Amino acid sequence: AQSVAQPEDQVNVAEGNPLTVKCTYSVSGNPYLFWYVQYPNRGLQFLLKYITGDNLVKGSYGFEAEFNKSQTSFHLKKPSALVSDSALYFCAVRDTKDSSYKLIFGSGTRLLVRP
Amino acid sequence: KAGVTQTPRYLIKTRGQQVTLSCSPISGHRSVSWYQQTPGQGLQFLFEYFSETQRNKGNFPGRFSGRQFSNSRSEMNVSTLELGDSALYLCASSSGGRGPPTDTQYFGPGTRLTVL
């Protein structure tokens, strides 16, 4: 069965420091991987995705993520955090064996960036 | 290009009633998916429609149903509402197609349903 784990409920970082939000996945085929961000009372906003090719994916607002097949991970990173990055982050996976657009989401990680 | 729109944004119903939520996808997108977001269960897939056909369905009771129209707009219906149906219902659209599902899903702002 497909699943996504985000092991940290919350990540705290100081503004200007690098941040990492962790994600591991399990699928039967190959994964398509996504990161979304959610601000209060809003829908999900797409950040980046990995489909194939280069393991390092760059996305919106300076975020990037590294796909590691051997560790089945897709951690989200940013070199220098901003207070405005504080939000709820979701990792999601789509199995290449599934012909639909169904996404399986992790439980979410709340990022708090302190000034 | 306009984003995904959902109406209404907020809804209050009582147990036993039914509700219909509407979603208009991004112009040109043919796949529409629905998700339920609750504090306890997180984000859960309800169903996906492509070209007016349900292509996939999540593990929800038959009280949850949906449909898609020829212009790709979609509605979901929940009958005999229960307290546990209180949630944020999110609609997402993507270009769709019958090849590998590599396209990004773009989400609407959601409909906040409260069941009293």
What pLDDT does residue A24 have?
Answer: 98
Answer yes or no: is pLDDT of A100 > 80: no
A107 CB neighbours in chain B (<8 A) are 42
Q: What is the pLDDT of residue A96?
A: 79
| Percent of chain A clearing pLDDT 90 (strictly above) | 82
Residue of A nearest to B57 (CA): A102
Calpha distance A115→B27 (Å, rounded)? 40
Nearest to B101 among A41, A46, A94 (CB): A94
Q: Are A17 and A11 in contact (CB under 8 A)?
A: no
Residues A13-63: tens digit of each pLDDT: 999 999 999 999 999 888 999 999 999 878 899 999 999 889 999 999 999
Q: Does B25 touch chain A (CB under 8 A)?
A: no
> Contact, B34 vs B66, CB < 8 A?
yes
- Return the HEC string of chain B: CCCCEEECCEEEECCCCCEEEEEECCCCCCEEEEEEEECCCEEEEEEEEECCEEEEECCCCCCEEEEECCCCCEEEEECCCCHHHCEEEEEEEECCCCCCCCCCCEECCCEEEEEC
Please determine, for residue A98, whether its predicted confidence score (pLDDT) is greater than 90: no
CA-based nearest distance B107→chain A, Å: 6
pLDDT at position A26 is 94
Which pLDDT belongs to residue B5? Answer: 97
Per-position pLDDT tens, chain B of length 116: 689 999 999 999 999 999 999 999 999 999 999 999 999 999 999 999 999 999 899 999 999 999 999 999 999 999 999 999 999 999 999 987 777 778 899 999 999 999 99
Smallest CA–CA distance, residue A50 to chain B, in Å, is 9
| Residue A43, min C-alpha distance to chain B (Å) | 4
Q: Is B66 on the interface with A (CB under 8 A)?
A: no
> pLDDT tens for residues B44-77?
999 999 999 998 999 999 999 999 999 999 999 9
Give residue A95's pLDDT. Answer: 84
- Average pLDDT of the residues of chain A: 94
| CB-closest option in A43, A49, A90 to B104 | A49
Are residues A100 and B105, on separate chains, in Cβ contact within 8 Å?
A: no
Chain B residues within an 8 Å CB radius of A108: 42-43
**β-bridge mates for residue B90, sequence order:** B35
Residue B109 has a CB neighbour count (10 Å cut-off) of 18
